[in-house]
Amino acid sequence: MAGYSYSRPRRSITLTVLLGFLLVYSVLPLTWLLFSITKDQPDLLGSFGLWFGEGFALFDNLGQVFTYDGGIFSRWFLNTLVYVVVGAGGATLLATAGGYGLAKYRFRGRNAVFAVVLGAIAVPGTALAVPTFLLFSQLGLTNTMWAIILPSLVSPFGLYLMWVFAAEAVPTELLEAARVDGASELRTFFTISLRLLVPGIVTVALFAIVATWNNYFLPLIMLNDPNLYPLTLGLYRWLADASGIGAAPVFHLVITGAFLTIVPIVVVFLVLQRYWQSGLSTGSVKQ
Amino acid sequence: MKNHTMRRVLAAGAGLALAGTLAACGGSSEGTGEAGEGATAEEIEAALEEGGELTYWTWTPQAEKQIEAFETAYPNVTVNLVDTSGAADNNQQLQNALAAGDGVPDVVQLEYQSLLQYQLPGQLTDLTAYGFGELEDLYTPSTWGAVSQNDGIWGLPQDSGPMAFFYNDAVFTEHGVDVPTTWDEYLEAGKELRAADPDVCIGNDTGDPGLTTSLIWQAGGQPFRTEGEEVTIDLADEGTMRWADMYQEVIDADILCDIPGWTDEWYAALNDGTIASITFGAWGPGILESGVPDGAGDWRVAPMLTYDGTPVNAENGGSAEVVPADAPNKLLGVGFLKWLNSSDESIEAFMETGGFPATVKQLESEEFLGYESEYFGGQAINEVLAGGADGVVEGWQYLPWQSYANDIFADTAGQAWLGETSLADGLAAWQAENEKYGTDQGFTVAD
């Protein structure tokens, strides 16, 4: 370990170059987006992508995004918020309770549940979209908000993560102590375990929020009322305005809308990332 | 625009997955063609006066205005408008609704090329029993022909798209190149433009199935025939080969830009004069005006290019509205449809913002023909465009699975645009794939 310490890491040229490349790779599209939202449509089509155009149309674009098509963008924004708060929020809640239960209680069939959950992780949501659609259509739930919210509530990966996390983060001795003191199981969960689980909850929430925010395929086949669309589908709809008979391209609004769509998710990420870091490292080292 | 392709692939996948269910649900729609269905004009009128609610799916930008006018005329009827944003989404959602047997609209827009796909499995209402036969004379022969196949009337034409040659006159003038009137001249002009400026191309095409079928139609080809369950595919008939021989030269001469239509790149190339001309339907002016503002004053429209000077034409795009067999409020839907595509009030609202009608009366009206477009340098464009409706070759049919055929076009015939194969071989491959698919779907397919 000589010459290598946490405070004075050894420099590696290969790593620096590699990370530099990754940085450019991931920031380039974002830079393009930031320049592009300042352009009106002719500028957007006619000028170099990584610099400003002739005019500065950012505020114009922002204004238009919220008024075009009867101001439906705000509606899509609210819809997405509902899907995220109820869907991802619910998924986090269920995953937390379920993961904790599976980690801390011994009961018959636990291994079977474990196998099912592991198996469910391997099935991509896209593959389930069509069966889910047929199921929902028989229940008369297609083209309602429930069609998006109900499937979002299920997160096998989140459940698995919480399970693993709870097994490490909540010492069984602590629970036993609480039981000896006469606390009910529910009270132990809410007053003791939940606090210890915060980093895990945040991690699961982040995953669920990102997945719900970016959800595209499920709404695509479930919804046909534009008033129920989330942002992803709405932006695609505006993009489609550029094709076919009666086409009236609004590329500048698609771009500005895309920018507005990523802002909240970036903010959520920045705010929650410190929890996430501690969440990822917890449990990785045996204490 | 990669997303676009991706989406279509996904949608096609979902469509396939649903096809099985569709067949399973077929029983419910077969029963709706029973005797006793239908109504007289008076009964339809009475239903509209009495009122109720109906759902209308469309991606026509003018729909809102039309509905406003309708609800003024029939205040007891409420029309729930669902904007399906485009043909692809519309079809996807309609298939979903029909499969689910729930949320089926009362009136829905369908492209002419998709009509058979829904008509053959019995998913559309035959409007003959509602007296729609009387309306025939209102429409151009080619649009009426498109909605009245297989012994029935399956919808009413909304618009038409007789093709025309749109060109950027400034580009041709700048390089001293004569504007072509025939396909041979098109080839020559393309070469001259390329020679004058290597960046400029006379057109763009990366293998667009919609354009290809229209051009085959114009050349006199009739590759697709459907009679009942029997489908004939012959993508080597005389007319088709006439187009393929000509177009092979166009591809080989490398005078077309490799830019797919409707993309941001395409609009940019139209704006800066890289693409000097387009052949598309009479609905083209609206696209240029809204998407190509830099070309204002420079663009002109000419009759469709010919093979030997004799004007012949084809339709490119265009839609009808139909009433699904499972429509919950059928009588109201029928009444609304009739008003929507045959009343002067509605058609005028449709034309006000650039729609190109399918009705003879409007196409021949002096106001329409005399309109001088500022964008086209004061040219009376409708005279040219409406003139194109006269020469449309009659008898064209699309495949009953045209949207699927269009989806696989790129993998077969589309390879010819990449120079991977010849057009003739590519078309043969397209035919083979379609024959296979048609047989799998239960059709009797013949060469």
For residues B405 and B399, is the Cβ–Cβ distance under 8 A?
A: yes
pLDDT of B7 > 50? The answer is: no
Window 100-119 of A, Cβ < 8 Å to B: none
Residue A186 in any domain: the answer is yes
Question: What pLDDT, in 10s, does the model give residues A136-167?
Answer: 988 989 889 999 999 999 999 999 999 999 99
CB contact under 8 A, B85 and A249: no
CB-based contacts of B34: which residues, under 8 Å, 6+ apart?
none
CB contact under 8 A, B86 and A221: no
CA distance A91 to A206: 11
Eight-state DSSP code of residue B85 = -
**Closest-CA distance of chain B to residue A147, Å:** 14
The amino acid present at A14, given as its one-letter code, is T
For residues A38 and A57, is the Cβ–Cβ distance under 8 A?
A: yes
Q: Which of B24, B86, B110, B39 is nearest to B324 (CA)?
A: B110
Dihedral in degrees, nearest 10, Cα atoms B183, B189, B194, B196: 180
Quickly list DSSP for A192-250. Answer: IIHHHTHHHHHHHHHHHHHHHHT--HHHHHH---GGG--HHHHHHHHHHTTSSTT----
Q: Which domain holds residue A180?
A: 53-62+70-281
Question: Hey, of A221, A245, A250, A253, which one would you mutate to test binding to chain B, going by the most B CBs within 10 A of its CB?
Answer: A245
pLDDT of B15 > 70? The answer is: no
For residues B382 and B369, is the Cβ–Cβ distance under 8 A?
A: yes
For residues B166 and B279, is the Cβ–Cβ distance under 8 A?
A: yes
A42 touches B at CB < 8 Å: yes
Domains located in chain B, CATH noted: 2-160+320-364 (3.40.190.10), 163-314+394-446 (3.40.190.10)
How many domains, chain A? 1
ipTM here? 0.79
Confidence category of residue A129, pLDDT binned at 50, 70, 90: confident
Question: What pLDDT, in 10s, does the model give residues B201-211?
Answer: 999 999 999 99
CA distance B170 to B187: 19
Residue A106 in any domain: the answer is yes
Q: Which of B105, B109, B100, B89 is nearest to B12 (CA)?
A: B89
> What ranges in chain A are assigned the alpha helix state H?
13-36, 41-46, 58-82, 89-104, 110-122, 125-139, 146-152, 156-169, 172-180, 185-188, 194-196, 198-213, 217-222, 231-240, 251-281
Which residue of chain A comes nearest to B22, CA vs CA? A134
Which residue of chain A comes nearest to B92, CA vs CA? A221
Question: What pLDDT, in 10s, does the model give residues A189-233?
Answer: 998 999 899 989 998 999 999 999 999 999 988 888 889 999 999
pLDDT of A2 > 60? The answer is: no
Eight-state DSSP code of residue A191 = I
* pLDDT for the residue numbered A115: 92
Residue B93: list chain A partners with CB under 8 A. Answer: 224
Quickly list DSSP for B293-323. Answer: GGGTTTEEEEEPPBSSSS--B-B-S-EEEE-
| Mean of pLDDT values over A263-280 | 80
Dihedral in degrees, nearest 10, Cα atoms B180, B181, B182, B184: -20
Question: What pLDDT, in 10s, does the model give residues B61-100?
Answer: 899 999 999 999 999 999 999 988 888 889 988 998 898 7
Residue A107 in any domain: the answer is yes
Task: Please state the pTM of the whole predicted model.
Answer: 0.85
The amino acid present at B291, given as its one-letter code, is G
Question: Hey, of B91, B96, B110, B214, which one would you mutate to test binding to chain A, going by the most A CBs within 10 A of its CB?
Answer: B96
Residue A119 in any domain: the answer is yes
* pLDDT for the residue numbered A57: 94
Question: What pLDDT, in 10s, does the model give residues B182-228?
Answer: 999 999 999 999 999 999 999 999 999 999 999 999 999 999 999 88
Out of A134, A226, A242, closest to residue B262 by CB = A242
Residue A2 in any domain: the answer is no
**Closest-CA distance of chain B to residue A26, Å:** 19
Window 379-438 of B, Cβ < 8 Å to A: none
**Closest-CA distance of chain B to residue A128, Å:** 11
Residue A127 in any domain: the answer is yes
CATH value at residue A265: 1.10.3720.10
pLDDT of A276 > 70? The answer is: no
The SS3 assignment for A115 reads helix
| Mean of pLDDT values over B323-346 | 96
Tokens of A167: 């097994």
| Mean of pLDDT values over A80-93 | 96
CB-based contacts of B281: which residues, under 8 Å, 6+ apart?
A245, B160, B161, B162, B163, B164, B214, B315, B316, B317, B318, B356
CA distance B132 to B134: 5
| Mean of pLDDT values over B108-115 | 96
CB-based contacts of B89: which residues, under 8 Å, 6+ apart?
A237, A240, B59
Residue A48 in any domain: the answer is no
Residue A229 in any domain: the answer is yes
Window 142-171 of A, Cβ < 8 Å to B: 142-143
B332 φ, ψ to 5°? -65, -40
Out of A138, A225, A246, closest to residue B82 by CB = A225
